[in-house]
Amino acid sequence: MISQDVIHALYIPALRIQMDTIPGRYTEMWFKADKAGSFHLFCSEYCGTDHSEMDGTLTIMQPADYQTWLTHAASSQTLVSAGETVFQSYGCSACHRANSTVKAPSLAGLYGKPVPLEGGGTVIADDSYIRDKILNPDAQKIAGYKQTMPSYEGKIPEDDLIRLVAYIKASKDSAHD
């Protein structure tokens, strides 16, 4: 999770969990849904004028109900398919697709793997790493590649970043499929 402006927090009292969402970095929260129903969710970190009206509902459905809802009400795109569109529109695919003429690392199967760094050592490619690499590619240079990618700081809004990360996360290494 991330925030586009001030610090907020996602709080779901029925599940007894909450986590801050902070601008500039990802935080994580997970739960296992074992009961269907609708539950309050609140912003629990004071965020300004309409803090107390920043609320919503968590809906947990049985798989069959969810399928019905998907076909009837949901938007046609998932986060991953939206991410693919974004991946094209910002021109990421020009360098990062397979068979690209520019020597850029392929992103297929990247997620969760260790990435060797130029100065030695490795870093695990998690959500935060992917986001940081898009916004500030100079920070952690990858071994074996010339750093040519420009920074996208301020050029890609947070919602598109989330779509991009989801897309890259879902990109499987085709060689192993």
CB of 9 to other proteins, least distance (A): 6
For other proteins, the closer CB: 138 or 173:
138
| Residues 30, 32, 37, 40, Cα dihedral to 10° | -20
Round to whole Å and give the CA distance between 165 and 30.
Answer: 17
Per the listing, tokens 């609320």 go with: 55
Residue 33 interacting with other proteins (CB under 8 A): no
Give 80-99 as a DSSP string.
HHHHHHHHHHTTHHHHHSTT
**27/25 Cα distance (integer angstroms):** 7
- Choose which of 7, 33, 94, 102 interacts with other proteins (CB under 8 A): 7
Q: Which two tokens stand for residue 85?
A: 């569109």
Nearest approach in angstroms of CB 86 to other proteins is: 21
Q: Which stretch binds other proteins (CB under 8 A): 18-26, 99-107, 140-148, 167-175?
A: 18-26
Question: Using the rule CB under 8 A, is 43 a contact of other proteins?
Answer: yes
Least spacing, CB of residue 107 vs other proteins, in Å: 25
Q: Would you state the structure tokens that stand for residue 47, as one six-digit string?
A: 């965020």
The binding site for other proteins (CB under 8 A) comprises 5-7, 9, 11, 13-14, 16-20, 22-28, 40, 42-53
